[in-house]
Structure 1
Amino acid sequence: MSDWQKSSISGNSNQCVEVRAAGGRIEIRESDAPDSVVVTTPQTFALCIEGVKRGEFDHLTP
């Protein structure tokens, strides 16, 4: 299992999303709620990242 990773833009903030690889899966959590973990496949995570890069979720942020 790898260490949790977050965007460097988050700095020391506890309001960020963290990810890690774990046993062939990707785990995702919020740093301020570390006990709640979402598990997905690397393929599904890659599709989500592509959607973020294309701006498909921009309407969800202020």
Structure 2
Amino acid sequence: MNSTEWQKSSFSEANNNCVEVRALEGLIELRESDDAGITVRTTRPIFAAFLQGAKVGEFDYLITNA
């Protein structure tokens, strides 16, 4: 898959209700698949820091206390 194409996690539900991500022009873009009109852009280093935090559980409280 080309990095400019939107990708979603293999853990996402089949109903297309997920966050999608792509690399574009040196930035990382994120959007919700069911509302593709809103896109968030960030730099690769900031996104990498976010992913590191997610991998070690820094944001788990958002899911368990929602």
Relative to the length of structure 1, the TM-score reads: 0.91
Question: Which SS does the other structure have where 1:21 is aligned?
Answer: strand
2:61 match? 59
Question: Which SS does the other structure have where 1:9 is aligned?
Answer: coil
RMSD over equivalenced CA pairs, Å: 1.3
Instruction: State the distance in 2 between where 1:13 and 1:26 align.
Output: 24
2:41 match? 39
- The amino acid of 2:41's aligned partner reads V
Instruction: State the distance in 2 between where 1:35 and 1:13 align.
Output: 18
Instruction: Give the count of matched residue pairs.
Output: 62
Pick aligned residue for 1:8 from 7, 10, 28: 10
Deviations 1:4-52 (A, max 9, x none): 0100121432221100000000000011111100000000000000000
1:23 match? 25
Instruction: Please identify runs of 4+ aligned residues in structure 1 that moved more than 6 A.
Output: none
Unaligned runs of 5+ in 1: none
Identity of aligned residues (%): 52
